[in-house]
């Protein structure tokens, strides 16, 4: 049996609009996106419209919805968190820390934690929020 084989000429030019769009998408993601850093706990922050931009040098502690704490790459107990918080280096004379707590975390537990941190001479706790433009 002899199959008829028709050789089609390949036109690269027809793919150019696709390549253009892909390049534009690439440039968009390069410019508009920022790299996600891996976090020790899965935390979805509460939304807020009144807030300030985050500063990099402040130590970040995590609190999940089920009450687990984490610092850097490992989960820690509340007691360990308090020990670490007590050892924080002051920034411009103030002991500042950042708390990235889940929106569903127990607010009463957060208030108790804030009280305990105040007793350790922590002067400011920054609660991480998600910008809410509403």
Which letter, b or e, does each residue of 55-72 get, where b requires 16 or more Cβ atoms within 10 Å of its Cβ? Answer: eeeebbbbbbeeebbbbe
How far is it, in rounded angstroms, from Cα 60 to Cα 126?
9
Compute the least distance from the CB of residue 53 to another protein, in Å.
7
Is 67 a residue that touches another protein (CB under 8 A)? no
Question: From the CB of 94, what's the least distance to another protein, in Å?
Answer: 9
Instruction: Indicate whether 64 belongs to the interface with another protein (CB under 8 A).
Output: no
Between 78 and 126, CB nearer to another protein: 126
**Contacts with another protein: how many residues (CB under 8 A)?**
53
* DSSP assigned state of 41: S
Instruction: Report the C-alpha gap between 66 and 105 in whole angstroms.
Output: 7
Task: Give the residues across from 48 on adjacent strands.
Answer: 131
Residues that bind another protein (CB under 8 A): 12, 15, 19, 22-23, 25-26, 29-30, 32-36, 45-55, 98, 101-112, 114-115, 117-119, 122-131
């Amino acid at each position: 049996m002899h199959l008829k084989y028709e050789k089609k000429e390949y036109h690269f030019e027809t793919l150019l609009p696709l390549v253009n769009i892909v390049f534009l998408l690439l440039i968009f993601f390069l410019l508009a996106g920022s790299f996600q850093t891996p976090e020790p706990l899965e935390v979805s922050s509460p939304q807020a419209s009144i807030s300030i931009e985050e500063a990099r040098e402040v130590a970040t502690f995590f609190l999940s919805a089920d009450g687990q704490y984490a610092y850097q790459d490992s989960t820690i107990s509340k007691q360990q968190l308090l020990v670490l918080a007590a050892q924080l280096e002051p920034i411009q004379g103030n002991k500042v820390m950042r708390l990235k707590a889940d929106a569903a975390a127990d607010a009463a537990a957060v208030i108790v934690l804030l009280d305990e941190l105040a007793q350790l001479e922590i002067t400011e706790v920054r609660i991480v929020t998600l910008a809410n433009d509403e």
